[in-house]
Amino acid sequence: MATSALDQIEDKVSKDYQELVNGVKKVVADPEAYQKFLDFYTKLPTRSFRNQMLIYSQREDATFVAGFKAWNKFGRKVNKGAKAIKIIAPRTKSVKEMNERTGKEEKTQKIVGFQRVNVFDVSDTNGVPLPLNPIMPKNVPASEFAEKAFKHLVNEFERDLPITLNKSYEGASNGFYMPSEHRIELNARPERDITNQQKTLIHEYAHAIFHKPEGKYHGYDKKTKELQAESVAYITCKNFGMDTSDYSFPYIRGWAAEHSEDLLLEYQNDIQKESAKIIKRIEDVIVEKDITFDIGVVLDENMAPAIEGEQKVSLVQYGNQYGIVKGDFSPSVLNNLEEIKTIGHIYDNKELAKATFEQTKGYLPLDQVKQIDKEKGNTHIFERDIIDPLDLKKKKMYAIGVKSLTNIKLVSNFSSELGKLKTQLAKILNGHSLTKENPAHDLSTRDTDQDGLTDLEELKLGTNPYSSDTDNDGIPDHQDSHPNTPNIPIKSIERTL
C-alpha cells in the first residue's frame, strides 16, 4: 500500500520531534551547554520551547524569526537565497461546532495535526526598519533596575503569597520558599545588596509557582526543583540585564540521564511558559509605574522621505526625556543627555515626540496606508491615520509614496492638504522633479539605487527607486523585462505561531 502524502508529513514531523528530544538531552546534560541555550532562550521568550529548540539547533544566532508572509506584513522582504529555519506548526481545518453559550452552530479552527513550516531570521530580510521600542533598555545597570523596581516587584508578587523582607535574617542563605506555609522570606540584612535580593526574589517566586502544595511538581526531587527554579530565574533575570551565573549549574550534570524524554520536554515547556508569564508581569509593572532609566536608548528608527533628504531618523529616550535625531551618530552620544541635546531636538512630552517621529518616517508597511488615487504604476497618494504633533489628535493625512511588494517609500511629507499633493503627483508623473528648488533632490537626474535608471524614470515605470531589484528576483530593474513581477517566485509556507 502506497504511503500517502499525509503519512509522509506525519513521519517527517515525528523525526523532527526525535531530533528535538535529542537536542534537549544534549543541552540539559551539560551545564555549560544548558546555560548557553538559556542565553539564546531569552531572545525569544514567547516562542514555544519545541520551536525554540528547533531554531537553536539550526541557527544559534537567530534573534527574531517570522514566516515569509509575516515579514511582508512588516514591510520587509526575505533576501534571495536566504536559508529557511524549519519549525513545527499546527495544521488546522475549519469545522462547524455548536456554541453552548449562544446555541448556534459556528465555524471554528480545529487542530488536526502538525506540519513543518519555514521561518527566516530578521538578518535575512530587508525593508522597513522594525520598531525597536524596548520596554527596558538592555544596557541598564542591574543595580539601577533593582533600586527602581524591587519594591514594586515585591508588591506585585505579594498579590499571590506573603513575602517577608527579614532585616534580622539568620544564616548565610539568600532566602527561601516555605511550601508548607506558601510564603517567601528574603535575607534583607542591611549589608545585603538589593540587586541580589531581587535575583533571590525571582528564584524563590519560581519555586512558589512550581512547588506549592497543590502544584504538580510539589513532591518532585530536589534536583528537578532547583533546575526549574534556577532556569526560570536565569531566563527572567537575563531578560532584564541581571546576571545570575553566580548561581552555578553543576547540579544539572547527569540530571537528564535520570529522567524520561517526555518529562524533559514537559519540564522545559513549563519553564518556558512560566518564564514568559513572569517577564510579562515585570514589564507590566515597569509600564504601570512609569519606571524610566537614566541611560540613552534608541526606541525606533526609520528613513525620512526623499523630500527631507533621506537621512535616518531616530527616536531616542534618556530617562523621561525624548529626542528626534536625524542622521547617523555614535552610540556613545547616548550616554549623556547633554550630548543628545547637541544632535537632536528634545521633548518632555513622550506623545509629542512619538507623533513627530511618525510624521518623519520614510518607510511604512503596506497595511499601514491606503491608496486613494487610481493612477497607473506604483507611485500614488496614500492615506494614513496619524497623530498630528500640533494638537496630538488623530487625523487623516496624505503623502506621495512608491509602492513595492512589501512597503511604501515616501517621497513627500505627510500633509492634510490633499489638493496640493494631487498637483504634486501630476507633476511627478509628467516628468517634473519633486523639489526643483533643491538640485540635490532632482528626481530627473538622481539614481538613488544605482541601477542605471533615474528616480523619475523608476517612478514612471512603477519600480522602486530605492531598490535596484524591485521584485527581488535577482535581476536588476534596468535589465528586467518585468521589473514588478518576480521571474522566479519564492514559495514558502508561513503560519502564525
The candidate with the shortest Cα–Cα distance to 200, out of 241, 232, 158, is: 232
C-alpha 483/C-alpha 461 separation (Å) is 9
Helix (H) or strand (E) holding 422: helix 418-429
Instruction: Output the CA torsion 133→41→244→219 (10° steps).
Output: 130
Q: Where are the alpha helices (DSSP H) in 29-165?
A: 31-41, 49-58, 68-73, 142-157
Q: In residues, how long is the chain? A: 497
φ/ψ of residue 142, rounded to 5: -55, -35
C-alpha 352/C-alpha 110 separation (Å) is 45
Predicted local distance difference test score (pLDDT) of residue 47: 75
C-alpha 35/C-alpha 42 separation (Å) is 11
Predicted local distance difference test score (pLDDT) of residue 496: 33
Question: In this structure, are strands 370-371 and 363-365 parallel, antiparallel, or unpaired?
Answer: unpaired
CA angle centred on 255, ends 250 and 261, rounded to 5°: 145
Predicted local distance difference test score (pLDDT) of residue 324: 95
SS3 354: helix
Say if CB 94 and CB 109 are below 8 A apart: yes
The candidate with the shortest Cα–Cα distance to 382, out of 305, 465, 470, is: 305
Beta bridge partners of 323: 316, 346
Predicted local distance difference test score (pLDDT) of residue 43: 78
Q: Give how far Cα 68 sits from Cα of 13, 74, 90, 125, 437, Å.
A: 21, 10, 17, 10, 42
* 3-state DSSP of 141-189: CHHHHHHHHHHHHHHHHCCCCCEEEECCCCCCCCEEEECCCCEEEEECC
The set of cell numbers assigned to 319 is: 530617562
The candidate with the shortest Cα–Cα distance to 307, out of 370, 254, 361, 259, is: 361
Q: What global pTM score does this model have? A: 0.74
Predicted local distance difference test score (pLDDT) of residue 310: 78
Q: 247: how many CB neighbours lie within 10 A of its CB?
A: 16
Predicted local distance difference test score (pLDDT) of residue 455: 73
Q: Which stretches in the chain have pLDDT values below 70?
A: 1-21, 28-29, 31, 45, 245-262, 264, 431-445, 456, 459-460, 462, 466, 484-497
SS3 101: coil
The domains of the chain are located at 5-127, 142-288
C-alpha 203/C-alpha 233 separation (Å) is 5
Predicted local distance difference test score (pLDDT) of residue 490: 37
C-alpha 225/C-alpha 208 separation (Å) is 10
Predicted local distance difference test score (pLDDT) of residue 11: 56
Residue 250, amino acid: P
The set of cell numbers assigned to 20 is: 528535538
C-alpha 126/C-alpha 367 separation (Å) is 17
Predicted local distance difference test score (pLDDT) of residue 149: 96
For residue 403, the Cα-to-chain-centroid distance in whole angstroms is 25
The candidate with the shortest Cα–Cα distance to 281, out of 234, 231, 240, is: 240
Q: Where are the alpha helices (DSSP H) in 240-349?
A: 261-288, 337-343
C-alpha 455/C-alpha 433 separation (Å) is 9
Those residues with Cβ within 8 angstroms of residue 98's Cβ, 6 or more apart along the chain or in another chain: 104, 105, 106
